[in-house]
Structure 1
Amino acid sequence: MRSFLMERMSLRPWAVGKGGCLALVILSGLALIGWSGAAHASPVVSMRAGTGPAERVSRTPLPEPADAVLVVDQEWKWNRYLRDALRLPAWLDLGLEHRTRFETYDHPWRASQPSGRTDSQIQQRNRVRLGLNGKHVKFLFEGQDSRVYLDGAESYVTTAIRDEMDVLQLMASITVHNVLETGLRTDLHVGRLTMDVGRGRLIIRNDYRNTSNAFDGVHWQLGRDKHWRVRLFLVEPVLRDQVRPDEQSKRSVFWGGYIETAHIPRVRLNAYYFGLNDQRNPDAGRHRTYSTFGTRLYDDPKPGRIDYEIESVLQTGKRGHVDHFAHFQHIDIGYTLALPWSPRVLLHYDYASGDRNANDSQHS
């Protein structure tokens, strides 16, 4: 059974069964060790070098890069130690990032892995950014090298883990401030790019995962400060390869529009539409033509008050010649305590539809 949801930025449905999930979670601002796995969880220790609040380093101010409006701030607002050591001019951006992570889990659940063994891996990810940042015209190159060590013949290694020596972003952007004296800002991006959209459930620049997805195409936005903005894009998903250079496919096209508004206090609204036409598979019965509609209401967590998030997504279309219909519902209700480390209590609920009968004329 498969839900409608696309694996984060990979445009593949998640393999999950129909049903909901209710969880009560207590979160803390201190997170050095996370947990992942199935029946038995194993520790995941992550180290990330060269990052931190950008305001700590003020020797050379960091201008807004070409991808600033495409991704969340934490993906580009971090210290550039090498750039400052070389005393590069303000318009030139140079950043290096390295992460090493050890992962292990026992009792593998995948059919390709024998039961009763432990799968341990060391995953490494290196990134380099080189940007030219003018007032209106910007260029950005970002390379990424994702590797895995200690893996064996029976280890689970895919393009979500290994993608050696590839171009993650290569784009040019044009920014116009105060369009026609209206106070509006518009940005146009052309090339290979990554995107964060909304909460990142459908489109995200992967951070925890060892590899990141990218798109080749065009992105445009129009907005007013933090009050509202409209985003439109037409792209071809980049197909990752573990060793060979990544490439896009003209037989897979992804497009959409996204609206964000914050006019009402404590009520932020997102509404979006995504379209996918994927005909890469030689089997016409596996071609996908989907339309996805969604809305999201939320309030950002702050100490001493209740916050919330509600997201509802509906997807229709065809898989081959079979009708496709699915939906996803999400609710979060949280409270952040006004204490050191900002602990937060969260009530979380997810529901994803599934396929009751894989052999009928309805796919979901």
Structure 2
Amino acid sequence: MSLDRVGGGQRVRSGPGATFRPSSRSGRAVRLGLLLSCLPLAWTGAPAAHAQEAETSAPEPAPHHPLSLTGSMRVRYEALRGQAHAGFPDTDSLLSIRTTVLLAYAQDRLRAGVELQDSRGYFGKRGGEVSANDVNAFEWIQAYAGLTVGSEGLVRIGRVKFDVGSRRLVAAHDYRNTASAFTGLVATLPASGGTATLFYTLPQQHRPDDQDAVLANRVQWDHEGFDLQFWGTHLAGVPIGSGTLDIGYFGLNERDTPDRPTRNRKLHSLDLRLADAPGRDGADFELEAVYQFGSIRADTTADAAELPVSAWFVHAAAGYRFPGAPHARVSLTYDQASGDGSGGRYGRFDTLFGARRSDLGPGAIYGAVGRANILTPSVRLEVTPNQRLDGFLAYRAMWLDSRTDSFSTTAVRDASGGSGRFAGHQVEGRVRWWLLPHRAQLELNAAWLKKGRFLKEAPNAPSTGDTLYGAVSLSIPFGSVVQKR
């Protein structure tokens, strides 16, 4: 069994001769997961007499009740043909079911919450893309206590999930079937006309992470420990001219454990962002730059050389939203993330715990385009005809930043640099439609990766043709106030 680390998670390959032996415990876990998956359906199964009310309103917790119970269930089927990742089968598919239940308490200044997320996958292919990033059965992703500070501040301690700034370095993932959660202290405080976030955490490391256990939806508590520490400070939304300024620092310290060798990442990331919110009519813009330094091992062996890190990422976007329906917005974007080259330094950018969906395309079993060794301009059209329907269509061309490093997150590489830098074209789109407002949402995602010279000619490039990906999902949120007795 071999493990390939991707960002803050792991992508798992199955070794030759792997066998699947579901245990009685995994059978109980499957039955428990299916039971959890039915909860939202039972919750939202209102009589026909209430159908009109469900069309026009969502459950709103009354302010005088301190307890609320909310959650959601999402069922998604996704399929892929023409694999772009090295070392995986030509085709892949996955039926995933994600159920979340959050019990929250808010009274005076006190805040508390516990959230269970049950992320399961079915019919995944052994040796395929399915990993611990897709399946994490029956896990407490939040369990915290907190206090409000002033009118807008909040300090939480325990296991939490949170977003920071543009979400490109820290995000509570949504498209991905599993969450990024952290155990520690997170404080969000008003400062300088904006919001300051300070945190010191131990990131959640999904368990189990071997593919047989993942495919069996085996239940095992996730691991946090001082072998992986993540901390930082971030100031967001400070008014400057017609826009806002974000500035932040993020630190990551990783070390081996007796049973898990790592590359001992010691990374420091400096983030600067200037943006004009795109929510209004007219022109908008965004500029973000991240510089990353520190050290990393050349590989996971204990005596591997330690390399200095010098990596970077930039994002630039300009858009225009037209007044009136369908509220169309057209934008041009440019993203570039450094790759590893020669010269004794490590140059591949690490996106840490960031989300990719909003910028670069679907993750999950597609996940071919990420924030590493890529140079990509794109054009995008977004429309929101009404409150129930929205969608977008985007095109991008893609090159490698470093021709000797693997392209983005595909693991396709030509160490000689002889396969050029052009990776190909990607066309992707999404449509979301509320079948019942606030009760049931249908979502369609699709992507076409037309492979360029590099993804065809590199020594380990899969000879699978262009990549086609599609996904359809149904999401059902639910919620209620827990009545006092």
Q: Report if TM-score (shorter chain) is over 0.5.
A: yes
Q: 2:168 aligns with which of 201, 226, 229?
A: 201
2:94 maps to 121
Query: Aligned letter for 1:197?
Result: V
2:187 maps to which of 220, 226, 229: 220
Between Structure 1 and Structure 2, which shows a larger proportion of helix residues? 2
Structure 1 runs of 4+ with >4 Å offset: 48-51, 281-285
One-letter identity of the residue aligned with 1:105: L
Alignment TM-score, normalising by the size of structure 1: 0.72
Q: Distance in 2 between matches of 1:215 and 1:274?
A: 14
Equivalent residue in structure 1 for 2:206, among 224, 229, 240: 240
Partner of 1:144: 117
Q: TM-score, normalised by structure 2?
A: 0.55
Confirm or deny that 1:93 pairs with 2:74. no
Residue type of the alignment partner of 2:244: R
Where does residue 79 of structure 2 map in the other structure? 104
Match of 1:362, SS state, is coil
Matched, 1:172 2:157: no
Q: In the TM superposition, what is the alpha-carbon distance from 1:131 to its structure 2 partner?
A: 1.1
Deviations 1:172-194 (A, max 9, x none): 0011326xxxxxx5421100000
Q: Deviations over 1:146-189 (max 9, x none)?
A: 111122323321111000000110000011326xxxxxx54211
1:178-223 deviation line (CA, Å, top 9, x unaligned): 6xxxxxx542110000010011111000001000110000012320
CA distance in 2 between counterparts of 1:211 and 1:237 reads 14
Task: Give yes or no for the alignment of 1:131 onto 2:104.
Answer: yes
Listed as ranges, the gaps of 5+ residues in structure 1 are 1-5, 14-47, 64-88, 179-184
Change (3 A) 1:189 1:285: closer
For the 8 Å contact 2:93–2:124, the answer to whether it is kept is: yes
2:164–2:197: 8 Å Cα contact kept in structure 1? no
For residues 219-262 of structure 1, give each alpha carbon's deviation from its aligned partner in whole angstroms, at most 9, with x where no partner exists.
123206x9312111000111111431112021111110000234
Are the counterparts in 2 of residues 303 and 337 from structure 1 also a CA contact under 8 Å?
no
- Out of 233, 255, 274, the residue aligned to residue 279 of structure 1 is 255
AA aligned to 1:344 is R
Rate the CA distance shift 1:325–1:235 in 2: closer, same or farther, 3 A: same
CA distance in 1, matches of 2:97, 2:271: 35
The amino acid of 1:309's aligned partner reads: E
Q: Conserved in 1, the CA contact under 8 Å of 2:243 and 2:277? A: no
Please give the alpha-carbon distance, in whole angstroms, between the structure 1 residues aligned to 2:60 and 2:171. 32
Distance 1:93 1:107, change over 3 A: same
- 2:154 is aligned, of 187, 210, 230, to 187
**What SS does the aligned partner of 2:327 have?**
coil
User: What one-letter code is carried by the residue in structure 2 that aligns with 1:93?
Assistant: S
Q: CA deviation at 1:298?
A: 0.5
Distance 1:127 1:58, change over 3 A: closer
Q: Give the distance between the partners of 1:302 and 1:137, measured in 2 at CA.
A: 32
Cα offset, 1:129, TM superposition: 0.5
Q: Deviations over 1:291-338 (max 9, x none)?
A: 100100101114431101100000010113211100111101001111
Equivalenced residue count is: 285
Cα offset, 1:284, TM superposition: 7.8
Instruction: Kindly indicate whether the alpha-carbon contact (under 8 Å) linking 2:9 and 2:133 is maintained by their aligned counterparts in 1.
Output: no
Unmatched 5+ residue regions in structure 2? 1-5, 12-39, 45-53, 209-217, 298-305, 348-485
Q: Are residues 1:163 and 2:136 paired?
A: yes
1-structure distance, mates of 2:61, 2:345: 58
Q: Distance in 2 between matches of 1:168 and 1:319?
A: 29
Task: From 307, 312, 316, give the equivalent of 2:284.
Answer: 307
- 1:305 & 1:334 partners in 2: Cα distance? 8
- Measure how far apart 1:342 and its partner are: 1.4
5 Å-filtered alignment, 1:11-26, equals: none
Identity in percent: 29
* CA separation of 1:163 and 1:285: change in aligned 2, threshold 3 A: closer
Distance 2:150 2:58 in 1: 27
| CA displacement at 1:263 relative to structure 2 | 2.6
Paired residue for 2:319? 334
Q: Is the 8 A contact 2:254 2:262 kept in 1?
A: no
CA contact (8 A) 2:121 2:135 kept: yes
Does the residue aligned with 1:143 lie in a helix, a strand or coil? strand
Residues 59 and 252 of structure 1, relative CA distance in 2, 3 Å threshold? closer
- What is the aligned partner in structure 2 of residue 317 from structure 1? 294
User: 1:57, CA displacement in angstroms?
Assistant: 3.9
CA contact (8 A) 1:218 1:233 kept: yes
In structure 2, relative to structure 1, the CA distance for the partners of 1:58 and 1:238 (3 Å cut) is closer
**In structure 2, distance between residues paired with 1:153 and 1:335:** 45
Tell me the distance in 1 between the aligned counterparts of 2:206 and 2:9. Answer: 12
Residue 248 of structure 1 aligns with an amino acid whose one-letter code is: E
Residues 194 and 314 of structure 1, relative CA distance in 2, 3 Å threshold: same
Query: Structure 1 pair 113/331, CA: closer, same or farther in 2 (3 Å)?
Result: same
Which digits, 9 at most, give the CA deviation of each residue in 1:73-98, with x for residues without a partner?
xxxxxxxxxxxxxxxx6211101310
Cα displacement (A) at 1:124: 1.1
Partners of 2:70 and 2:102 within 8 A in 1: yes
1:14-56, CA deviations, whole angstroms, 9 ceiling, x for partnerless residues?
Answer: xxxxxxxxxxxxxxxxxxxxxxxxxxxxxxxxxx9899x9x94
Q: Distance in 1 between matches of 2:128 and 2:262?
A: 31
Q: Hey, what does 1:66 align to over in structure 2?
A: none
- Match runs of 1:72-83 below 5 Å: none
State the SS of the aligned residue for 1:247. Answer: coil
